[in-house]
Amino acid sequence: MPTSFPSIMDTTPHHGGENRKQPMRSSLVAPLASLLLALVVAGCSDKASSPVSGSSGQSGAAGVAGGAGGEAGVAGAGGEAGQAGAGGAGAGGAGAGGASAGGQGPTPWAGLGLVAIPPGYDTSAKGWGQVTQAAQESGVSFVSTGYLGWRDTEKTPGVWDWSDFDALWATLEGTSLAVTLDVAAPINFAAQLDLPADLPFQGFDDPALKQRYQAYLSSAVKLAPGRLSRVTIHTEGVQEYFTEHPGEQGAFCDLLEGAILSLRSEAPQLRVGAYWRYENTGTELRACVQRATDFFALALVLNPPTDAVEDLPRIVDDYLQIAAPKPLALVEVGYPSSTYLGSSEQTQAELVKVLFEAVDQRREGLEMVSYYTVFDESREVMELIADALYGPEPSGPRTSFVEWTTSLGLRTEQGQDKPGWPAFVDAARARRP
């Protein structure tokens, strides 16, 4: 999920993060809540079929969560620049494919990571430490972090508050883990503007907006010095926004291109991607969002019962063709384990197996893969969000939403392993550079 840490949830769609209901630190929840509510209000809870996979992208409430979710905590960084040559920064691929010479097992690859969402959204050293410990245990090469909304980060002009990540940087000391950072776009998860409170919106071609946004990005890429190798711009809400504001799309894409070029000029060692949900439609928007990126950043958190485990390789193949000649980054990939949704913990573990097999066979076109996520997310928090979305009375959509959002982890919220966690650890360790 995204990290926009100041409150537990938003009760209505809004401009830039106001109208917070319950002040509680829960960075990863507020943007999802507002996005889901915006989609419900807009009548978008039942998505059309995936434009590339032939699978129906979403199903009822779980589908809405899928579109928003698998958030980012959200972005990956594999084949880390400067790491052992198997990953490579260019196409991110190992070049030799998944099997090592002589059939001795999988080829090492520095392109594997985990989405960093601390259990209970605890951004203290204890919470982030559990994420770091899990990443080290699994043998992945990086963690990918979610973003802090621009409005929440820059409450005073020219002053950016990134303190929610302070404990993460501290827990990473003494490890070799790299970092990919997901940064906010001027349009948020809820398909609404996310600008500093003092900055009036006068169009995406406004020079002041462009200058301020580039300064925000410049501040972000100074985080985690020596560890940061990739940045993804979280453009998740753009399709819904430009459905309502089509005349603004061109100026937004120009702003995004200028921001990426500015980042590249300031930090040429960084590779930059822009987030895209696998079930999104809109080929023109997809092309303009991706036109200045180094890699295509795809969110691929599947939605049973509509999406099956065996759909994953086909969707990856479709997006490899779409992304070419750029490499494809699976910045979020996962599957819920809830039996209510027609899944199970064993099915989730099967997804892990299918994922690694698919990645081994397609490394040359892949930048990296970041699994979503280690821990199940808080049922208490998701019940509160479900109350706002569907009311407190039991219903199918309400239950589907809660079950989807609270069963994506390979471990329970309390840290108990599901079958998918040892499957992931074994597979990732076998490919450790």
* Residues of the chain predicted below pLDDT 70: 1-103
Report pLDDT for 385. Answer: 86
Buried b / exposed e over 27-54, threshold 16 CB at 10 Å, is: bbbbbbbbbbbbbbeeebbebeebbbbe
On whether the CB atoms of residues 367 and 77 are closer than 8 A, the answer is: no
| Claim: this prediction has a pTM higher than 0.85 | no
Report pLDDT for 262. Answer: 95
Report pLDDT for 218. Answer: 95
On whether the CB atoms of residues 397 and 387 are closer than 8 A, the answer is: no
Report pLDDT for 98. Answer: 55
> Pick from 167, 87, 83: which is nearest to 132 by CA?
167
Report pLDDT for 153. Answer: 95
Would you call the peptide bond into 268 cis, given omega within 30 degrees of 0 as the criterion? no
Buried b / exposed e over 399-412, threshold 16 CB at 10 Å, is: bbbbbbbbbbbbbb
Q: Which domains does the chain have, with CATH numbers?
A: 30-430 (3.20.20.80)
Q: From CA 287, how far away is CA 297, in angstroms rounded?
A: 12
User: Alpha helices, DSSP H only, in 276-412?
Assistant: 283-290, 312-323, 345-361, 379-390, 396-405
> Pick from 420, 325, 312, 324: which is nearest to 369 by CA?
312
Q: From CA 76, how far away is CA 373, in angstroms rounded?
A: 12
Report pLDDT for 146. Answer: 77
